[in-house]
Amino acid sequence: MSDNTDETGFELDEAVCICSGTTKRKIIELIEEGCDLDTVSRKTGAYSGCGGCEYDLELLFDAYQAK
């Protein structure tokens, strides 16, 4: 695992939300701070546009929310 990939294989600097340009790294940081989906959406703009990031956000919340 490199500094750019997490244990689930996500490329951390890849944009999970194309509309806002929000990276997986930023979303993981917010999840680990205890933010819920609504808060992540407000802080980043993810999950507030086309809906294309919905699946990836669900995966990230499943992988990191319990930690």
CATH number at 31 reads 1.10.10.1100
27 in a structural domain: yes
pLDDT of the residue at 1: 46
53 in a structural domain: yes
**Which whole number is the average pLDDT over 52-58?**
93
User: Residue 27 belongs to what domain range?
Assistant: 15-64
pTM over 0.95: no
- The encoded tokens of residue 32 equal 């680990």
pLDDT of the residue at 2: 57
φ and ψ of 66, to 5 deg: -80, -15
Q: List, for residues 1-54, the tens digit of each pLDDT value.
A: 457 877 666 689 999 999 999 999 999 999 999 999 999 999 999 999 899 999
Q: Does position 67 have pLDDT exceeding 70, yes or no?
A: no
CA angle 57, 24, 38 (to 5 degrees): 45
- Cβ atoms within 10 Å of 57's Cβ, excluding its own: 20
2 in a structural domain: no
58 in a structural domain: yes
10 in a structural domain: no
